[in-house]
């Protein structure tokens, strides 16, 4: 059985409103084009939360990267602020974003980059059949 080559695509995030709309559009079109098998609505929620955090609290250029390796879809959001995101207790005033990401992903993390950080998560792909 041939394993499909990993696929990756990026989208630069701009202002909060335009950036979130672009991130959602990019995510939907990319995942559908890849036939990635991931729940697109779940991916849209995760991307919206991670992108919103980067646009609100990050600095410099913010970039959304999606990649798929035939088993998982990885969502990464890069920004120039080295401070990791802070998970607040969920309540009536918010704090649900990272809790939602944790619930929908198999794993989530933050890693330093040369200029800042990347916040990432992995979404499971129920089907290993990808367009390639």
Q: What is the CATH number of the domain that holds 21?
A: 3.30.565.10
Residue 132 lies in a domain: no
Q: What are 70-108's pLDDT values in tens digits?
A: 778 999 999 999 999 887 777 787 778 888 899 999 999
Radius of gyration of the chain (CA): 14
Residue 128 lies in a domain: no
Query: Whole domain around residue 109: which residue ranges?
Result: 7-123
* pTM given for the model: 0.86
Residue 102 lies in a domain: yes
Residue 57 lies in a domain: yes
pLDDT exceeds 90 at position 47: yes
Q: What are 21-45's pLDDT values in tens digits?
A: 999 999 999 999 887 677 899 999 9
Beta bridge partners of 81: none
Confidence of residue 5 (pLDDT cuts 50, 70, 90): low
Q: How many domains does the chain have?
A: 1
């Amino acid at each position: 059985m041939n394993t499909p080559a990993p696929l990756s695509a990026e989208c630069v995030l701009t202002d909060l409103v335009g950036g979130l709309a672009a991130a959602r559009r990019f995510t939907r079109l990319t995942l559908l084009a890849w036939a990635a098998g991931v729940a697109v609505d779940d991916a849209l929620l995760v991307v919206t939360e991670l992108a919103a955090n980067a646009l609100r609290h990050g600095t410099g250029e913010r970039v959304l990267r999606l990649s798929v390796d035939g088993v998982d879809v990885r969502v990464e959001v890069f920004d120039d602020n080295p401070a990791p995101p802070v998970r607040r207790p969920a309540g009536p005033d918010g704090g649900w974003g990272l809790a939602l990401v944790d619930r929908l992903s198999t794993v989530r993390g933050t890693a330093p980059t040369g200029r800042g950080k990347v916040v990432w998560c992995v979404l499971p792909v129920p089907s290993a059949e990808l367009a390639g």
